[in-house]
Every structure is written in C-alpha cells, then in structure tokens.
Structure 1
C-alpha cells in the first residue's frame, strides 16, 4: 500500500510539472502580440513608450509588446509600412506628410505636447555660425533623412530664407552618435533632442542653440501654438482591424502618463533601462526634469496643434500644400475618450 501511495504521489508531481509550463503558455497565448517601432528609444521624447513596458502596463492590458529600437522616425515608419512592425512610436507629423501621398496613417494616442527639438551649433563651429542663415553650404545632422528632425530643419531653413537644397543633411542618430559627431566637428550643426542637448550643454556651457522647442513658450515662438510631437500611430487599416489592441495600447500609455505626472523625475529615472540613462545620471536627470512638462496629461490631440503641423508642412512641402489634406483624418481621439469613459485613466 505504501508503494502504491508513493507511486501515486510521484505521478501527481510529474503531472504538475507537465501542467505548469502549459499554464504559462496558455497565459502567453492569450496575450495579443504587438510590435512597436521606435525611432530612437533613448530619446526622452519617446520615454512614455519605453516606460510603459518597464512598468508592466502593456502586460496589464493583455499585450505582449516587443519594442524595436531604430535609428530615426523614418526608419520606424518604414518598418510599419513594410510589415515588420505594427505600430510606430514617433512624431505625428509623419501622418500628415504621408497623407499627401495618399497613404493613410492614423495617430490614436498622443504623449508629447510639443516636439522637444533643438537646432544646435557644433561646439567647434560656434564662431562661424551665429544664425540659421549661416547654415547655407554647411553640413547639418538629423536623426535620419526623412525623419521629423529633417522636417524641422527644412521648415526652419525655408522660414529664414535659406534654400534647403543648399544644406547637406546627414543622418547621425539621436543619442551618443549625434553628440560625438557634434563634438568632433564632423557636422556644423544638428537637430537634436534631450537628453543629448543637455549632455552637450553640460560639456559645453556656451553651446549655441539657434532654435528650440523644448518648452511650451519656445514652441509657441517657433510654431505659433502647440505642436504635437510623439504619438502612437499606424496605418488606418491596422487601427480599424485591431480595435482591441489599439485600445489596450492607449490605456497603457494613459496609465503611464498618469504615473509620470504623479512621480518625481528621480523615480522615473530609476525605472528606465540603465543603458538608456547612460553613465552621466546627473545630466540625464536634469534633462528629464526639463522634459516633464512636455508629456501630455490627456493623451488627446490638440486640433489647433494638428492644424499647425499641416500649416508647417504646407510651407515646406509643395506636395502637402497642394494635396488638400483633411487633417482630422490623420488622428482619432476615440480610444482615449473610450478609455476615460469606461475604465477611467490615471492621466490627469
């Protein structure tokens, strides 16, 4: 009898060991898989997307999210258009720009109230470049050609009477590669974002910034109003066919925005991957503190901001100017409205 009981116990243990992984697999299979392409994950403008994963917000909403970190927004966009990613975490202005080519992209949750871009002069060329007009014939870095940093540069050049074709545009990324290119004088200037701008300022206190959109006031000076930056967007077909996933992503970002606005910069930094924070934690923290007001508290698109994006692109792109774009078709607030109505949101 004792041997029978021992055999039964061993059999039960074996069954439990076999069943355990199956339970995990069932749980994993129940999750919807979504791949998000990010155009430079270390950039603070994309922090909510990365932080949501660090906080486990995607998992809470039933999503298995894979974040693919790419060099620039144009590369992230290509990943979605090419089918290797589902959603872009990038700048809303791509949705407007692509509308001129009859490619329907839809933003469904906004996490940046303004772009956070700055046109900065290389420390080695401060003496010769004192205004945007001085960039004619120079080499200017952007994250990647065709990215939002490139759009921003072309807008500023045209606005200041400089022919964009007279400037050599060079892709240098957004992080350490951009800082190195600037410090080594490989380029004359660059459109950069934090934390890279703050890192460069820490090393070069006399750093010359020709245009800045890292605060609401600066954005107002440059664009005349709020100008939405980072958002989650995808093709209109994906958004229409993946209502559940788009809703879950929206809720995860809203929860993360709420968490951001209810915690200190130090607490936020502690949650970020160490490789994104980098070795100089003090400069990263300083940049983060400066960036916090940039993050949306609602997740909604400002209609005036969307119109401002269209106006800027109409000025810098003849194709956009003559396309008669209905900008309201490039974004939707329905997922944000639904999230706040049905489950509430931690975002203020």
Structure 2
C-alpha cells in the first residue's frame, strides 16, 4: 500500500470517527407538529432537509400528532421540546400547572382556514344549528375557530374531533355536515370540486397571533442555547422557503401528495404570509396575543391568564443560512 493511499484511508477513518463523535455529542430537539398536511410541518421538514439543525450543531426529531391539543399534551407529558400551537393552550395549560410560553411568533392570521361543506350541500353558516362540524381535536386551532363561529354567528352546533387526517374523509363521507379545514387541504378539495367554502376565516376573524412556537419554562431555563438554536433553524427554513419558491412548491407537493398547482396555492397563500422574524418583543405582538386570548374567551374557553404570563421575550431567532 502506498503512503498516499494510507494517508487517504487514515483521513477517511478520522472523518468517520469525527462524524460519529459529532452525532453522539449533538443535542436533540424534539419538535411536535399539530398535523401532517400543515405549514409548520413544511417549515420543520425544510429545516431538516436543508440541514439547518445540523448547522446549529443539534439534531431534530419530528413527531406529527392528530391536532394542536394532542401536540400540547405531548409537550406537557415531556414527549416534545418545542411545539407549534395557539396562545390559548399555553394560557389554559398554565392554569393546570403546565408551565410553558410562546417564544416565537409564527402566524398572525388564519391563512387558508375555511369552514367547508360538501359540494352538493345547501347548508350555509346560519343553517348549522344542530349539525355536526368536524375539528381536529378539542382545544386545537380548528376548535377555537369553531367556537368563534358559534359565538360570532349565533349558531349552535356539535363539534366533532376527527383528527387532522380525518377532516376531509369525514366531511366527504357525510359523517359530519361541515368541517373547519386548514390549508392546503382546503385549497385541494375546493379546487377538485368536492367541497365548497361557506366561511373564510382568513378574512372573517380579526388579525391576531394565531400560532407560535412554544417551549416549557424548564427547557428555556435549563437549555436556552438549545431553544435558540432550534428557533434559528426553523426561521432559517422560513427564509429559505421564501427565497426558493420552486423548491418549496415541489416539497409541499411531495410531502402531501398533491398536485403542483395546489402546492403553489399553499405557498402563495400561506407560506408567504407566515411570520419571518418570530420576535416576541415586537411592538404589535403583545396586542396580537391579547386579541387571540380575547377571541378564545369569546369562544367559550376559560382559564385565561394575563398575556404577560403567556409570552417570553427571552429569545429572538437568528435565521440559519443554508
């Protein structure tokens, strides 16, 4: 064996050992996502595929749940480190001893969320009294919107939790009369002609902080660097997606097995509208959180704590560059 070859093999061996050592030393952040076909999943998947967590020196484990409430329960049980959910769950959780806070603003509107009925249905919002309306889970974003509809439109209906993956099948099979559907599913079944929108929450509900990244108080206190690195990667993904339309549309189509035109609609109407800085200390954020809690209260949710107890300005994402 030549000296040159020995040197190459030696260097390769050292590289393998270094990589193994890095993998063993890298901290892991467990990311909880409310449902599969939803923009937070696109963000997290982009961060993984662009190796943004790796560039921050950490590894990420993504787990997809059946809805926002189940995601929050996972964090409360210690199965997730950082999740995306509405402020109302943080508020209700603190009353029950689940101490967590919003550490980054993710969305200021219900982009793509629609109250839908089967295409042949003659029902309008005012006709939903006594009917069944599908939601992902109790306490989730879809449940909040359903509760808001009850209060704002003065109509009483039964909210039926079917999980994120069950919204469309249950709506189209007639198991529920209507459903609160998120994008891109709402775009997909609308364009296919299988369902139609009777209420567009993006325009009907006043702008408010509808979702943010949440971590337990203990994690923020014990491992602030890990939280910071995770946020950097997630907002690096947002920046990457906004700068790379074609790549992101292709990813959405691949992840959710949908046509390119529906993926493009999701990109234009949702991805391009999510928050890019995540800064919880921004001037309008506190008011937006308060409005979110007020809307939740109007929807019938109790156990609302002061806004100051729901948010944290400890972190400010510094987007990781690919």
TM range (shorter): 0.7 to 0.9
1:288 corresponds to which of 254, 267, 270 = 267
Quote the residue 1:330 is aligned against. 310
Cα separation, partners in 2 of 1:46 and 1:300, compared to 1, 3 Å: farther
- TM-aligned CA deviation for residue 19 of structure 1: 4.8
Q: Could you tell me how far apart the structure 2 residues matched to 1:292 and 1:271 are?
A: 12
Q: Could you tell me how far apart the structure 2 residues matched to 1:328 and 1:146 are?
A: 21
SS at match of 2:277: coil
Quote the residue 1:232 is aligned against. 213
SS at match of 1:234: strand
Gaps of 5+ in 2: none
Q: Could you tell me how far apart the structure 2 residues matched to 1:137 and 1:309 are?
A: 27
Q: What is the TM-score of this pair, normalised by structure 1? A: 0.81
Alpha carbon RMSD of aligned pairs, Å? 2.7
SS at match of 2:139: coil
Within a 5 Å distance, the mapping from 1:305-344 to structure 2 comes to 305-317=288-300, 319-320=302-303, 323=304, 325-336=305-316, 339-340=317-318
Q: What is the TM-score of this pair, normalised by structure 2? A: 0.87
Q: Could you tell me how far apart the structure 2 residues matched to 1:149 and 1:286 are?
A: 20
Cα separation, partners in 2 of 1:56 and 1:90, compared to 1, 3 Å: farther
Which has the greater radius of gyration? 1
- TM-aligned CA deviation for residue 240 of structure 1: 1.5
Q: Could you tell me how far apart the structure 1 residues matched to 2:11 and 2:272 are?
A: 51
SS at match of 2:205: helix
1:170 corresponds to which of 160, 167, 184 = 160
> Are 2:283 and 1:303 aligned?
no
- TM-aligned CA deviation for residue 304 of structure 1: 1.5
Cα separation, partners in 2 of 1:7 and 1:297, compared to 1, 3 Å: closer
Within a 5 Å distance, the mapping from 1:1-348 to structure 2 comes to 19-116=14-111, 117-124=113-120, 126-127=121-122, 129-131=123-125, 133-163=126-156, 167-175=157-165, 177-204=166-193, 207-213=196-202, 218=203, 221-223=204-206, 226-264=207-245, 266-272=246-252, 274=254, 276-301=255-280, 302-317=285-300, 319-320=302-303, 323=304, 325-336=305-316, 339-340=317-318
Q: Could you tell me how far apart the structure 1 residues matched to 2:302 and 2:90 are?
A: 14
Between the two proteins, the alignment pairs up a number of residues equal to 316
SS at match of 1:267: helix
Q: Could you tell me how far apart the structure 2 residues matched to 1:202 and 1:210 are?
A: 16
SS at match of 2:137: coil
- TM-aligned CA deviation for residue 74 of structure 1: 1.1
SS at match of 2:270: helix
Gaps of 5+ in 1: 1-5
Q: Could you tell me how far apart the structure 2 residues matched to 1:273 and 1:30 are?
A: 35
Contact 2:76/2:98, CA 8 A, preserved across alignment = no
- TM-aligned CA deviation for residue 173 of structure 1: 3.0
Cα deviation 1:257-299 (Å, max 9, x = unaligned): 22233232x221234582x231422222223222134211221
SS at match of 2:243: coil
Q: Could you tell me how far apart the structure 1 residues matched to 2:175 and 2:85 are?
A: 27
Contact 1:122/1:190, CA 8 A, preserved across alignment = no
Cα separation, partners in 2 of 1:318 and 1:199, compared to 1, 3 Å: closer
Cα separation, partners in 2 of 1:318 and 1:77, compared to 1, 3 Å: closer
Q: Could you tell me how far apart the structure 2 residues matched to 1:206 and 1:120 are?
A: 6
